[in-house]
Amino acid sequence: MIPLPQLWAVCFFIMVILLCVDTQFTAIEGIVTSVTDVFPRVLRGARRREIFLLLFCIICYLTQIIMVTEGGMYWFQLYDYYACSGACLLFLSIFQSLTIGWVFGANRLCNIIQDMTGSYPNVVFRLCWKYLTPLASLVTFIYYLVELQPLTYNRGYVYPDWAYGFGRLMSLSSIVLVPAWALGRLGTTKGTLKQTEPLPVFTMAPSLRQWLRDYLAERRIRRSRLVTKSGHCNIEYGSVRYKNVFAYLQDSWSTFVEVSWYSFMFFYVASFIFSWFIFTLIWYWVARDNQDLWYQNPPENHTACILNMNDLVTSYLYSVESQLTIGFGYRVITPFCPSAIVVIMTQVLLGAVISCFWCGVLVNRIALPKKRAKAVTFSDMAVISSKQDALCLQIRVGNLRKSLLLGSQIYGKLIRTSVTPEGKTIIIEQVNIDFMVDAGKDNLFFVCPLTLYHVIDKSSPFFQMAVDVLPRQEFELVVFLDGTAESTNSSCQVRTSYIPQEIMWGYKFLPIISRSKNKKYHVDFTNFSKTEPVPTAHCAYCYHDVNCHNPNSDADGIENKGFETIEIEQTTDFSSSTTKM
C-alpha cells in the first residue's frame, strides 16, 4: 500500500476538480465567443455578453444536474459510449489528414513550413500526411466498427433500440458536420472545382491573410540575412572535401564542444556502448581461449578466468560491470589468468579516460562564452537623427546582468555586394563602420544600457543615402561587441545585424535611465527599443549643406516614405536643344 493514502486521495480529487473546472471554462468560453461573433450587434452591447454568459451557465447547470441521479448515469454512459467514442475522433482524423495531404496539398504545406522555419520538411512527413495517417486511421476506424458491441448498463441492463438510435445520432452530429459543410460550400461557390482553388474552406479573413503575408515576408528577410538578429551566421558549406572533414576529427575537442546537444548525447552514449562492446569481444576471446564457454563443455574441476561467464551475453554484462566499477557479484575474476588481469586493468583505465573526457566536454559546453553573450541585447531598430551637431546612426545596447563586460569594444561591418571598376563582382564586401559612445569606442564602462552612434560624414558609406532611397538599398549592417566576462574571465562576442527596413530615419530612442527616490539609478527596459520622432534632415548632404539644411523643418519622424510625385509647370528638352546647337 502507498504510504499516506489519505494525502494522495485528496491530491487526486483536487486534480480531478481542477481538470473539470478547466474543461468547463474552455468549453463555455469557446461556445459563448462563437455565438457572440455570429451575433455581434445583439451580444456586444453593454453587459449583454455577461448576461448571456450567466443565462447559458444556468441552462447548462439545470440540464446537467440530472447527472447526480441514477438516471443521469444512464444518459452519461450513453453519451460517453457514442458521442465521445473513438469513432468520432477517428472519422475526423481521416478527414483532417485527407484535407491537409490532398485538398490543401502536402507540398503547399511544406512550402509554408519552409518559409516559416527555413528548412523543408522531410519526405517522411509528406508520406504520413498523404498515405500513412489516413490509411492507419481508416483501418482503425473499420476495426472499431467491426468490434463494436451493444451497450449495457451495470453489466446486466441492455439499452432499448431507441437508445441505440439516439446514440448513433449523437455520433453522426459531430461526424456529418465536416463533410456536409464542405459539400455545402462547394455547392454554393460559383465555378468548377479547379476554378475555386484554393477552396473556400481555407480562405481567411483579409486581415489574417495580410498578417500571414507580412509574417512570411519577414521570415524570408530573416533567411536572406548573413547574420541573424540573434547573432547566428546564416551560411553553409558545400562540397567540403574528405580531407577537410577529417580536420574535424583531428580537432575532436572543439567539435564535441560545438555540436548540438542531440549530437553530444548521441556521441556520449555511443562511446560507452562501443567501448563496452569492444571489451565484450575481448572478454569473450579470453573465456574461449581458456575453455570457459558452455558449448566447450568444461570439466567440473575446471578453473575459469571469470566465474559464471560462459557466453556472449554474460561477457557483455561483465564488461559493463568492470568498466563502470559497480562491483562484482555473480561474475568475478580469478587470479589464475594473467591475460584477464591485463584486460581488466586496461578497461578500467580506458573507462576513466572516457568519463573524464566527456566530463570536461560537458563543463566546457556549460561554460561557453556565448551563453554569457545571450545576456547582452541590442535594440530591434536603428535610428538616424541629430546628435551633438552631427547626423548619426544610433543603436542601443544593454547588459541584462549586473556583472560587467571588461574591456568592451564596439565596431561594425557594412556587408554589401559591389562591382569593381574591372567588372568583378564582390558578393560580400565588408566596409568598416566606426561606432562610439560619448567616452569613446574602447574600454566601455558597460554598467548600464549605452547608445552607440556612428557619425554620418563624408567618409561614411551612409553619406550618399537619403530618407527616400534608404529602404531600397541592399546592405546589411553587422554590429559586434567584444568583451570579457567579469565572473568567468572568458572572452565573448555579441553580434546582431540591421537591414535597411530596420533603420528609422528621423527618430531617436526614448530615455530609459532615471534616478529613484532612494538616490539609485533606475533602468526601465520597457522603453529599450521604443522611439519618438524628431526633426531631422532628409539626407546627410542636406545636413552638412547650410543652404539645404533647415533645422526648424517640420519633416520629423520620417520613416521610409519613399518618393513624392510633384507637378512641374514647364519643362525643357535639353537634348534637343543641344542637338540643334
Smallest CA-to-CA distance from 306 within 284, 278, 279, 275 is with 284
| CA–CA distance, 251 with 434 (Å, rounded to integer) | 35
pLDDT of 354-398, one tens digit each?
999 999 988 888 877 666 777 888 998 999 988 877 888 999 998
Q: Is pLDDT of 440 > 50?
A: yes
Q: What is residue 214's predicted lDDT score, i.e. its pLDDT? A: 66
User: To the nearest whole percent, how much of the chain has pLDDT over 90?
Assistant: 7
| CA–CA distance, 77 with 155 (Å, rounded to integer) | 12
pLDDT of 144-161, one tens digit each?
888 877 777 777 777 888
Strands 382-386 and 503-505: parallel
580's enclosing H/E stretch is: helix 574-580
pLDDT, mean of residues 301-309: 83
Q: What is residue 212's predicted lDDT score, i.e. its pLDDT? A: 63
CA distances, 569 to each of 542, 566, 572, 576 (Å)? 25, 10, 11, 19
Q: Which residue has the higher pLDDT, 515 or 569?
A: 515
When pLDDT is cut at 50, 70 and 90, the band that residue 550 belongs to is very low
Which residues line the annotated binding site?
19, 22
CA distances, 384 to each of 381, 400, 556 (Å)? 10, 25, 11
| CA–CA distance, 97 with 95 (Å, rounded to integer) | 6
Estimate to the nearest angstrom the gap between the alpha carbon of 357 and the chain centroid. 31
Q: Would the CATH topology of 256-366 be identical to that of 373-544?
A: no
Which residues line the annotated binding site for Na(+)?
19, 22
| CA–CA distance, 108 with 92 (Å, rounded to integer) | 21
> Is 480 in contact with 412 (CB distance < 8 Å)?
yes
Query: Is the pTM of the predicted complex or chain greater than 0.85?
Result: no
Which of 186-195, 226-235, 426-435 is least confident?
Answer: 186-195
Q: Which residue has the higher pLDDT, 553 or 485?
A: 485
What the block records as the C-alpha cell of 130 is 498523404
Q: Is pLDDT of 576 > 50?
A: no
Q: What is residue 213's predicted lDDT score, i.e. its pLDDT? A: 66
pLDDT of 172-216, one tens digit each?
877 777 778 777 877 777 766 555 554 444 444 455 556 666 666
Q: What is residue 334's predicted lDDT score, i.e. its pLDDT? A: 83
Report, at the CATH architecture level, how domain 373-544 is classified. Sandwich (2.60)
Class of domain 256-366: mainly alpha
Q: Is pLDDT of 563 > 60?
A: no
Q: Find all residues with CB under 8 Å of 231, minimum gap 6, and list them.
A: 373, 494, 495, 496
The alpha-helical segments, DSSP class H, found in 193-337 are 206-224, 242-250, 252-258, 261-289, 312-324
Other Cβ atoms within 10 Å of 415 Cβ, number: 20
Amino acid at position 309, single letter? M
What the block records as the C-alpha cell of 32 is 459563448
Q: Is pLDDT of 571 > 60?
A: no
CA triplet 298, 303, 306: central angle to 5 degrees?
A: 95
pLDDT of 91-107, one tens digit each?
888 888 888 888 888 88
| CA–CA distance, 131 with 102 (Å, rounded to integer) | 10
Phi-psi map region of 346: left, alpha, beta (phi>0 left; psi -120 to 50 alpha): alpha
Q: What is the mean pLDDT of the chain?
A: 78
Estimate to the nearest angstrom the gap between the alpha carbon of 541 and the chain centroid. 43
Q: What is residue 359's predicted lDDT score, i.e. its pLDDT? A: 92
Q: What is residue 307's predicted lDDT score, i.e. its pLDDT? A: 85
Q: Which residue has the higher pLDDT, 542 or 528?
A: 528
What b/e sequence results for 183-209 when a residue is b if at least 16 CB atoms lie within 10 Å of its CB, and e otherwise? Answer: eeeeeeeeeeeeeeeeeeeeeeeeeee
Q: What is residue 551's predicted lDDT score, i.e. its pLDDT? A: 43
Q: Give the residue extent of every domain in the chain.
A: 69-188, 256-366, 373-544
> Is 413 in contact with 395 (CB distance < 8 Å)?
no
Could you please report the per-residue DSSP string of 3-27? SSHHHHHHHHHHHHHHHHHHHHHHH
pLDDT of 323-345, one tens digit each?
887 766 678 888 888 888 899 89
Whether residue 198 has a cis bond before it, omega within 30° of 0: yes
Smallest CA-to-CA distance from 96 within 23, 175, 33, 26 is with 175
pLDDT, mean of residues 233-262: 72
